[in-house]
Amino acid sequence: MADQDPYGAIKFGEFRKYMQNKESKLKEQESILGNQGESGIIPVLQGLSIHVNGYTDPPQSELRRLIVQYGGDYQHYLKKSKVTHIIATTLTNSKMEEFRAYKVVTPNWITDSIQQGQLLPWTEYRVIQNQSAQRELSFGPQLTSKASSSPLQTRQTTPKAKPDPTLQKAKSLSTRTESTSKPLLPLPQLQQSISTPQPYTDISMPISPHYTTEQEQNQLPSGKELNTALLANPWNRNNSSTNPDFIKKYYQSSRLHHLSSWKAELKDIVRKAKEQQQESTRLRPISSKRNDSHRLVMHVDFDCFFASVGIKSRPELAKLPVAVSHGKGLSKNSSSDIASCNYVARSFGVRNGMHVGRAKELCPNLQIIPYEFEKYKEVSEIFYGILFQYADEIQAVSVDEALLEMGSHITVAGRNEEESLALMVRNEIRKKTGCEASIGMGANILLARLATKKAKPCNHYYCDPQDVAAFLSEQKVEDLPGVGYAMKSKFQDMGVTTVGQLRQVAKSILLSKFGPKTGQTLYDFSRGIDDRRLITKQPRQSVSAEVNWGVRFENNEQIEAFLGSLSSEISERLKAIDRKGKSITLKVLVRAKHAGEAAKHLGCGECDSHSKSVVLDFFTDDADVIAKHVKHALKSFTFLAVDIRGLSIQIQKLNNDADQNISVEDNQQRRLKFDSVHDAVTHSNQHKPESSKSKMAIDYEMYMELPQDIQRELNEEHELEFITNPQQEDRPTELHQKDQTPEPAASNENITPPPAVVTQDPSQFLPALPNWSQLDPSALLALPQNMQKQVLEAYKSSTSSKHQYIDNTTTTADTGSKPISLKPSLSGNTSANGDYGKITKSTSPRRSKPRFSKKKNLNGITLTQLFPPSPKRTTIQNVEDDEGALFLSGDGNTTGAQLMVGTTDRYTMEGNGLAPAIRDLNPSDFTLVNGTHPKSMEIWPQLPKDIQQELLQTYYQEQRQKRIQNKTVTDVQKRIPSAPIQTEPILMGKSNLADVRTLLSAWVHEFSSAPDSKDVQTVTNYLKELVWCKDLEKVQLLLMHLDRITQADSINKTTWANSVQGMKESVSHEMIIVYGAPLG
């Protein structure tokens, strides 16, 4: 259209399509639900558009049913422009912030209205901040007093990952944001009208009634104004991304960058040392494999590392409060970060990561000392030198911190050997570095880390296995490693403060609230269980470079230039470690709509994060290649240049040595087959001096479809210019529909196409291809079919079939630049997070949605009408296929089968009251699905979407099962000849620890009154097998697990204790047979 923002247009179109698809899909489900309702109801909710957030008392699914039934519009997603009301039971601060502009009401508003047959005033049901959120308001003062009274607990405010309490307070009290509480720039509406159109001016806001009465949100800050003002200051300009030397200078001064690169180096050193050591000890049997009974993990960590090193050369400061920072704190409101402060300063409430200004408020006498990066590195080298002498294994955690396996140092238990060992290490560190380190020890990483916290400062602590329970119970949840700000908030919502309380939370709740892995980890941690080994040799999986400070652009050229520099930077980093990658990701931080100038000087402030990745067909470390792809990725976004606050590039899917070989071979093979083409291309360019590559415009999608060696050739021989087919970028005519995310109008600040926009003309592409005559037919034939087609089409397009070519790119582009990248903007997620004022927000855009069991997805649709079921299987067979068929043990005992029927029914009915009979509608029962791709079925196009989906899933599931079956069959076949290889014992098809645990939990839960003796026998046999396989650790862990889960309240403790005891005795007996010693 008239504007020059085709990129915006395409994005817009996709956005709409995406949401529309989504909506129609979900709406189908609704009409189903709605039709189920009786007639004669009063549509009290007519005209309302309601979104349900989080956990509600009548559960989400029930509310949804009611809303639809009573004429309301249920919104699965929080779509700003549409939603009129949000249902929620509680509101934490972050949600409060996010929902600022909506009517947030309790579920009772719905139920009461329905009951009374009329819509009641929503204001009566307004959700106000909950208690826990209120409490947080007083966090600041508390922090101060608490910290001063108990220095050992200082970790309770972990350095980073905490929002500035004061900031948080301001937000929740007055719904003011960073911008409004610190208005740097006056923003008269006058200027807005003069300046370019405001794409972010919010059209949706007025539609949704305000949560509060204030007007502020109508005057959103303008990115351009903010930026212009900031960059008008030459000081700022010189220190921002507009300066070409910026990146280098920035990284030189960034403590976090130093920290990260040091860590990478250390991990590398440790890895290499280990490799060498393994080399030299190859002949010796490796004994220290997995003997957890004597495991001793030591966690060593310098006290206030940067500060200690700095104080060493400034002894006069030792007794004063000291902090390391760039800012000298001259200006009284310095937003400079404190990297590290000594314990004197901490007694005032000062913390690592805090801004100097705030710290000075707490401690006016705070002494600021500068960074001395070289010194930190020197001390660190000495430190690791010491560790290498003691440790069986080392995991580098940081410059000043490491985890060690020290089991070999302990000969006899109970002789305090741990303490003297720690003392020895600490003394040596003190002597050789002049700094204090603290040490924590325990039987696993978790306990060691917790012990360090308890030990600090300047001490050590051994968490004796006997004391674990008591020691753990008193810990605060946020002291658990991995629990940071976000999880702490979640716990706060749940009313969980201590690890002891956490232990009382049912595992099912943890799993559903935190996900399978995290839930299990939390469950284990609260019991002192931590199976993780030290990570000592894991190779690097990604390399990235990011800058989220000082990023202020005026136009697109600056962005592209900056991405160029960043690409070079990352290319150098890749080369330095001699690795290449094939996945490139661009991440862009964009100023949140309502955010003004960042709290931190030149910081990114509150941002939305957007990323886009591309997977290449080849490995690369080439700066130009990387730059081209990230620049292209950038164009798939539509941000204003002035709103960009951070940029980063990540390279993933790195080659390891094996890959490199494979890929080289792979390439060579292909190259051989493609020799003639290759030669032709290279040859034709040989006349030209290397330096002046010919320019070539090429459609990006087209390029991506080319074989990898051709891509490489093109990159090496030409200066590529990616273009995009303008036809596919056309702005949809529905543009003016107002409920869409506002699009940037054309303006200088827009990410506009590259200066040289080349219209789609295949002839422009042709010069890159060899002449027809040079194309070796055998080479062409050697290519996979789809590539053949592409090559041929590339040639064809020069003459007749331009059409085809365009069509082709259009479709690939459609799927290639998916609307996924838009999610952040449409979810409208915006909230503060992280530490003192930084932040890329993160109110999770993904609310917990109803999780449908597979069967539930059928939602009452009568599949039978479409497909008469094949001869029905027996119930038991049917059930056998189910995941839940835990204890249908090999001998086919009936108790197991009974149990399973029950379980399945419940599973099926979960939450939606579907009749058990629906089990029989499991699509896998329909022969039509068997082996046939659903899409190849004639009836396919006529099926409702969710049925299609269902069939697809079933199909893929079947395929997978076949694959697995084939595999096991062949595996077995292979294995049989090679006789006596011990296979891993399996319990109901599961072998890994977590799975078996889950099985056991399900078992115990299912038979809470008493176990079936056959099941006990099955489990016992399994444990015995483990004993034979020398997997004693697993035996131990599983028995502990059984101990734990049979002590739950819902369990009949007597019968179960007996059974478990019996199992233990059997295992012990087996131990004596196998090893001559009983269970420890």
* Residues numbered 309-368 forming contacts with DNA, rule: CB under 7 A: 325-328, 330-331, 334-337, 356-357
Q: Which is nearer to Mg ion, 426 or 718 (CB)?
A: 426
For Mg ion, give the closer residue by CB, 400 or 530.
Answer: 400
List the catalytic residues: 401
835 is known to lie in a ligand binding site: no
Nearer to Mg ion (CB atom), residue 151 or residue 206: 151
Calpha distance 362→144 (Å, rounded): 8
| Token pair 């200027």 in the structure block, residue | 191
**Interface characters, 834-853, with DNA (x: CB under 7 A):** xxxxxxxxx-xxxxxx----
Which of the listed partners (Mg ion, DNA, ligand DCP, none) does 846 bind, with a CB threshold of 5 to 8 Å by partner kind?
A: DNA
| Nearer CB in complex with DNA: 522/918 | 522
- Which DSSP helix (H) or strand (E) runs through 441? strand 437-442
| Subset of residues 342 to 401 that bind ligand DCP, contact rule: CB under 6 A | 352-353, 398, 400-401
Q: Measuring CA to CA, which residue among 748, 630, 971, 948 is closest to residue 227?
A: 748
Q: State which of residues 81, 340, 433, 548 lies at the interface with ligand DCP (CB under 6 A).
A: 340
55 touches DNA (CB under 7 A): no
Give CA separation, 795 vs 679, 720, 763, 954, 1071, in Å.
18, 19, 9, 41, 72
Does residue number 448 form part of the binding site for ligand DCP (CB under 6 A)? no
Nearer of residues 556 and 636 to DNA, judged by Cβ: 636
Question: Which tokens is 626 given?
Answer: 């990387």
Rounded Cα–Cα distance for residues 916 and 8 (Å): 50
Smallest gap from residue 155 Cβ to ligand DCP (A): 7
| Residue 493 one-letter amino acid | D
Please indicate if the annotation marks 617 as binding a ligand.
Answer: no
DSSP string, 851-873: ---TGGGGTT--HHHHSPPPSPP
Task: Judge whether 406 and 298 are in contact, CB under 8 Å.
Answer: yes
Do residues 437 and 445 make contact, with C-beta atoms less than 8 angstroms apart? no
| Residue 1039 binds ligand DCP, judged by CB under 6 A | no
Sketch the per residue contact string, 220 through 259, with ligand DCP: x for CB under 6 A, - otherwise.
-----------------------------------x---x
CB of 187 to ligand DCP, least distance (A): 33
182, 818, 873, 1069: which one binds DNA (CB under 7 A): 818
CA 766, CA 802: separation in Å to the nearest integer?
Answer: 12
Answer with the entry of Mg ion, DNA, ligand DCP, none that 521 interacts with (C-beta below 5 to 8 A by kind).
DNA
- Choose, by CB under 6 A, the member of 211, 306, 525, 1056 that binds ligand DCP: 306
717-756 residues near DNA, rule: CB under 7 A? none
The residues near 137 (Cβ < 8 Å, ≥ 6 apart) are 169, 172, 173
Long-range CB pairs of 381-389 (<8 Å, 24+ gap) are: 382/432, 382/433, 383/300, 383/302, 383/429, 383/433, 383/437, 384/266, 384/269, 384/270, 385/432, 386/425, 386/428, 386/429, 386/432, 387/300, 387/425, 388/273
Alpha helices in 640-768 (DSSP H): 657-673, 675-686, 700-705, 708-717, 762-765
> What are the tokens at 311?
């104080």
User: What is Dmax (Cα atoms) for the chain?
Assistant: 89
Q: CB 159 → DNA: shortest distance, Å?
A: 6
Closer CB to ligand DCP, 163 or 353, in the complex:
353
User: Closer to Mg ion at the Cβ: 361 or 400?
Assistant: 400
Contact 765, 799 (CB under 8 A): no
Chain positions 117 to 176 lying near ligand DCP, rule: CB under 6 A, are: 159-160
Choose the stretch contacting DNA; rule: CB under 7 A; options: 726-734, 755-763, 828-836, 1063-1071: 828-836
The dihedral formed by the CA atoms of 542, 543, 548 and 550, expressed in degrees to the nearest 10: 180
List the one residue from 254, 748, 774, 924 that touches DNA (CB under 7 A). Answer: 254
Q: Of the candidates 60, 69, 650, 715, which one interacts with DNA according to CB under 7 A?
A: 650
> Minimum Å distance from CB 256 to ligand DCP?
6
**Mask of contacts with ligand DCP, 776-815, x by CB under 6 A?**
----------------------------------------
User: With contact defined as beta carbons under 8 Å apart, do 457 and 307 qualify?
Assistant: no
Determine the Cα–Cα distance for residues 723 and 814; give it in Å rounded to an integer: 15
What does 306 interact with, of Mg ion, DNA, ligand DCP, none (CB < 5 to 8 A by kind)?
ligand DCP
- Cα–Cα–Cα angle for 400, 406, 411, nearest 5°? 150
Task: Tell me if 461 contacts ligand DCP by CB under 6 A.
Answer: no
Size of the site for ligand DCP (CB under 6 A): 19
Question: Does residue number 336 form part of the binding site for ligand DCP (CB under 6 A)?
Answer: no
- Cα angle 186, 190, 195 (rounded to 5 degrees) comes to 95
Q: Does 304 bind ligand DCP (CB under 6 A)?
A: yes
CB 753 within 8 A of CB 677: no
Q: Which of residues 598-617 bind DNA (CB under 7 A)?
A: 598-605, 608-613, 615
Contacted entry of ligand DCP, Mg ion, DNA, none for residue 527, CB cut-off 5 to 8 Å set by kind: none
> What Å distances lie between residue 668 and 657, 665, 857, CA to CA?
16, 5, 48
Residues 518 to 547 in contact with DNA, rule: CB under 7 A = 518-519, 521, 535, 538, 540-547
* 963: its two tokens: 């694959």
Nearest CB to DNA, comparing residues 676 and 812: 812
Nearer to ligand DCP, 158 or 725 (CB): 158
Whole-number minimum distance, CB 325 to ligand DCP, in Å?
10
Decide if residue 274 touches DNA (CB under 7 A): no
**Which C-beta is closer to ligand DCP: that of 456 or that of 1034?**
456
State which of residues 95, 358, 456, 612 lies at the interface with ligand DCP (CB under 6 A): 456
When asked if residue 451 is in the footprint of DNA (CB under 7 A), the reply is no
Q: Does 302 bind ligand DCP (CB under 6 A)?
A: yes
In the complex, least distance from residue 453 CB atom to Mg ion, rounded to whole angstroms: 11
Q: How far is the CB of 489 from DNA (least distance, A)?
A: 8
Which residues of this chain interact with Mg ion, rule CB under 5 A? 301-302, 305, 400
CB atoms closer than 10 angstroms to residue 653:
16
Q: Which stretch binds ligand DCP (CB under 6 A): 59-67, 304-312, 668-676, 995-1003?
A: 304-312
| Shortest Cβ 299–Mg ion spacing (Å) | 10
Bridge partners of residue 586, in order along the sequence: 612, 649
Q: How far apart are CA 1001 and CA 444, in angstroms?
A: 23
921 to 617, 679, 859, 916, 928: CA distances (angstroms): 43, 60, 11, 10, 13
Q: At its nearest, how many Å lie between DNA and the CB of residue 95?
A: 11
* Helical residues (DSSP H) of 150-222, grouped into ranges: 165-174, 178-181, 189-194
In the bound state with DNA, the residue whose beta carbon lies nearer, of 235 and 772, is 235
Nearest distance in Å: CB 77, DNA: 8
Q: Is 629 in the site for DNA (CB under 7 A)?
A: no
334 binds, among ligand DCP, Mg ion, DNA, none (CB under 5 to 8 A by kind): DNA
Q: What is the three-class DSSP state of 581?
A: strand
* Whole-number Å distance between alpha carbons of 528 and 468: 7
Identify the DSSP state of 1040: H
303 is in an annotated binding site: no
Strand ranges for 594-675 from DSSP E: 607-620, 644-654
Residues 543-562 that bind DNA (CB under 7 A): 543-550
Known binding-site residues for Mg(2+) equal 301, 400-401
Q: Which residues bind ligand DCP (CB under 6 A)?
A: 159-160, 255, 259, 301-306, 339-340, 352-353, 398, 400-401, 456-457
